[in-house]
Homo-oligomer: A and B are copies of this chain.
């Protein structure tokens, strides 16, 4: 069995998962994100740093704003690991193959348009 992705450590926090759900809709600035939370701006910046170091988000400077963006591949990899674990448990490695094949196919299509 493959090692679990580090990203799962960062995903263990509800606020960070909420951030990722917001970013899945599109890039957002820190102040834009902040409107959706009760805690302070530094607290949000700390979460964003953790997500960055886990490879789950990136940002681009846009004037004085930092536009954060989701790194979907990292999310996908974490999800794939779980599906893989499920498939292994389920004693159906054919499922594993088809699932990962489907993901790889998606990836190829994505790369093509970029």
Task: List residues of A whose CB falls within 8 A of some B CB.
Answer: 1, 4, 8-9, 11-14, 17, 20-21, 23-25, 70, 72-73, 75-76, 78-83, 85-86, 88-90, 92, 95, 98-99, 102-103, 106, 110
Give the distance in Å from the alpha carbon of A85 to the alpha carbon of B16 in the complex.
Answer: 14
Contact of A98 among B21, B73, B79, B102 (CB under 8 A): B102
In the assembled complex, how far is the CB of residue A97 from the closest CB belonging to chain B, in whole angstroms? 12
Q: Are B4 and A17 in contact (CB under 8 A)?
A: yes
Taking CB as reference atom, which chain B residue is nearest A11?
B8
Q: Are A9 and B9 in contact (CB under 8 A)?
A: no
Q: Which residues of B contact A80 (CB under 8 A)?
A: 79, 83
